[in-house]
């Protein structure tokens, strides 16, 4: 255990930060999985886009708080958005011109 008062306080803060960061990382994983499973289940496009928006918000927040690296967050957002765009393109096919 820490010897000085300031070291004891820092140890308490580190425990709180670790728990908070763990909760954020878990929430990110859950949000990403929800998007992917909704794509697999062929749910309506507006539901998928809402889940994507939620996942993007969680990833951006974690990035700004330093929980995950900036490039990691951007990569995950980009890959999810790409999959949602593919679903959108698949569902909204343009009419054939005669």
Runs of H (alpha helix) within 41-69: 45-65
The C-alpha atoms of residue 24 and residue 29 are separated, in whole angstroms, by: 9
The C-alpha atoms of residue 43 and residue 22 are separated, in whole angstroms, by: 29
The domain locations on the chain are 17-91
pTM score of the predicted model: 0.83
Q: For the domain bounded by 17-91, which CATH number is listed?
A: 1.20.58.110
Confirm if 84 and 35 have CB atoms less than 8 A apart. Answer: yes
Answer whether residue 95 shows pLDDT above 70. Answer: no
Q: Model confidence over 4-62: pLDDT tens digits?
A: 999 999 999 999 999 999 999 999 999 999 999 999 999 999 999 999 999 999 999 99
Based on the number of CB atoms within 10 Å of its own CB, is 59 exposed (0-12), middle (13-18) or buried (19 or more)?
A: buried
């Amino acid at each position: 255990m820490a010897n000085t008062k300031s070291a004891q306080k820092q140890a308490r803060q580190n425990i709180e930060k670790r728990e908070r960061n763990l909760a954020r990382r878990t929430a990110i994983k859950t949000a990403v999985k929800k998007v992917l499973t909704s794509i697999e289940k062929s749910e309506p496009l507006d539901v998928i886009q809402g889940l994507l928006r939620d996942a993007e918000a969680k990833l951006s927040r974690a990035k700004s708080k330093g929980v995950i690296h900036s490039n990691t967050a951007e990569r995950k957002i980009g890959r999810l958005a790409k999959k949602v765009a593919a679903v959108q393109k698949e569902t909204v096919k343009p009419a054939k011109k005669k």
